[in-house]
Amino acid sequence: MNRKNRFARSLVTRMGLLGALVFALTAMPASAQATGATDVDITLPDIVILHYFSNVDVTITDTALGSFLTGTPGDSAVNEGTVAPLPGGFSQDLGMGPSALTGDPSAALLVLQNAWAVRSISLLGGANTQLAIVVTDNLLELSAGGPSITISSGTVNDGTSNGATITFAAPGLVNPQMGDVELTLDMSNAINAGEYVDGVFTLTATNI
């Protein structure tokens, strides 16, 4: 075999090897890869969160108090109607009495709107939350031993239930259950104007 043929055959062989190498390189993946899946478990506690106000100052205006007592606002004159006099000039009882009033100051209802909110998640065995109110100091005094207002009773109201204790489905963490506090006031001994202080009610939220 002459040198020209041997060179041609060698060139063909080299071209074949180069083509095989290029094919092998292009057939390989662009990069190495590894994949693994991780299972995540999160344990949340049985928890109840109570939002409340530690202090509430309520000012009852003369308009509001006048409306409560007479049905018309402010220091109002109320026409109780007409009574025909007895003939002959004898005296007659016109029958004015507490029943003529539209509101009873010994049982005046004070509503504290949106006074509380509860967030809660409960155990699988119990999906409800209970909210209770207790009047822990029922006396509001103008001065020690002086004129006073007494809280006769207190209830909580969530728009569906109203009582000293109410129960509702645990609302979760995002959208709290909200509601009012309603206090019944006895103002029989409120004989002076001024600030009557230091009545206390306590709210307790419990998952049940």
| Residue 72 confidence class, pLDDT cut points 50, 70, 90 | confident
Q: How confident is the model at residue 29 (pLDDT cuts 50, 70, 90)?
A: low
Integer Cα distance of 53 and 49 in angstroms? 13
pLDDT band at 77 (very low <50, low <70, confident <90, very high): confident
pLDDT reading at 148 higher than 60: yes
Query: Is the pLDDT confidence value at 31 over 90?
Result: no
Mean pLDDT taken over the chain: 85
Look at residue 66 in the predicted model and tell me its pLDDT: 87
Instruction: Give the three-state DSSP class for 133.
Output: strand
> Which of 114, 120, 129 has its CA nearest to residue 181?
114
Q: Which two tokens stand for residue 51?
A: 């939002």
Q: Supply the pLDDT for residue 167.
A: 97
If pLDDT is split at 50, 70 and 90, which confidence band does 127 have? confident
Q: Are 170 and 207 in contact (CB under 8 A)?
A: yes
pLDDT of res. 123 = 79
Report how far Cα 191 is from the mean position of its chain's Cα atoms.
Answer: 35
Determine how many CB atoms are found less than 10 A away from the CB of residue 153: 15
Tell me: the pLDDT tens digits for 169-207?
A: 999 999 999 999 999 999 999 999 999 999 999 999 999
Is residue 30 predicted with pLDDT exceeding 60?
Answer: yes
* Span 151-158, average pLDDT: 97
Q: Please write the tens of the pLDDT for every residue from 104-116.
A: 899 999 999 999 9
Alpha-carbon distance 183 to 193, whole Å? Answer: 20
Handedness of CA 94, 100, 101, 107 (dihedral sign): positive
DSSP character for 45? Answer: -
